Amino acid sequence: MLFLVQNGFRVVAHDRRGHVRSSQPSSRNGMDGYADDLAAVIEALDLNDATLVGHSTGGGEVARYIGRHGTKRVAKAVLIAAVPPIMVKSDTNPEGLPIEVFDDMRSSLIKDRSQFYKDLAMAFYGANREGAKVSQGTLDQFWLWSMQAGLKNAYESIKAFSETDFTEDLKKFDVPTLVMHGEDDQIVPVKDAAKKSARLIEGAKEIYYPGAPHGLTATLQDQVNADLLSFLKS
């Protein structure tokens, strides 16, 4: 956000319901609720010609927003290490991750959420790879932000990001779209996410980063920023 402001853009972000500085409502902790919250922010601020940039679950929010609310206020879209089109394995998505992966996340979250987030941070930023250079500060920041999320909200978000099917949402994209993804993403595998999404979005531009993890906006900050700025100016 700072980088884009320094390059002349207005930047607006929100904390997802149940996360960090937002309230922790008991209901609507799913993609429809997330997308409608985004719509409320956009409409309250009367934003037009906006570029929607979503990372991970945020990419799902962008997709569902366009699916539910269209692109009348949207000029471009960017999906970074995003969860669409669908993560969980099924008969129609045999390359997906088994439901047991997400069940294990839920049980670990309930058992010891603090340790769960510490462990998740390692894979999130690829710190568990040989030769990785991820600062302790980055890992601590991930843990701090995660611990500010409501437990019920975080628990229900696992179902939201893993089981929501965004296929029809992606087909409604009618604005220039950039898909960015790390090729060593251990959280959202690139072959079952970005590469499938790009095929569903007409004219999508794709950028893949060899060896990059899910948290590439931190580990490859300068490169991701430069590619994002180039797309915004194109």
pLDDT at 129 (0 to 100): 97
Q: What CATH number does domain 2-233 carry, 3.40.50.1820, 3.30.1240.10, 3.90.550.10, 3.40.50.300?
A: 3.40.50.1820
pLDDT at 224 (0 to 100): 98
Out of 37, 56, 157, 197, pick the active-site residue. Answer: 56
Domain ranges, ordered by start, for the chain: 2-233
pLDDT at 182 (0 to 100): 98
Give dist(CA 218, CA 221) in Å, integer: 5
pLDDT tens-place values along the chain, 234 residues long? 999 999 999 999 999 999 999 999 999 999 999 999 999 999 999 999 999 999 999 999 999 999 999 999 999 999 999 999 999 999 999 999 999 999 999 999 999 999 999 999 999 999 999 999 999 999 999 999 999 999 999 999 999 999 999 999 999 999 999 999 999 999 999 999 999 999 999 999 999 999 999 999 999 999 999 999 999 999
pLDDT at 58 (0 to 100): 98
By CB neighbour count within 10 A (0-12 exposed, 13-18 middle, 19+ buried), where does 60 fall? buried
Out of 185, 192, 197, 227, pick the active-site residue. Answer: 185
Out of 37, 197, 214, 227, pick the active-site residue. Answer: 214
55 is catalytic: no
56 is catalytic: yes
185 is catalytic: yes
pTM: 0.96
185 and 87 Cβ atoms separated by less than 8 Å: no
Give dist(CA 215, CA 134) in Å, integer: 10
Strands (E), 73-211: 74-80, 177-182, 205-209
Q: Which pLDDT tens digit goes with each residue over 55-107? A: 999 999 999 999 999 999 999 999 999 999 999 999 999 999 999 999 999 99
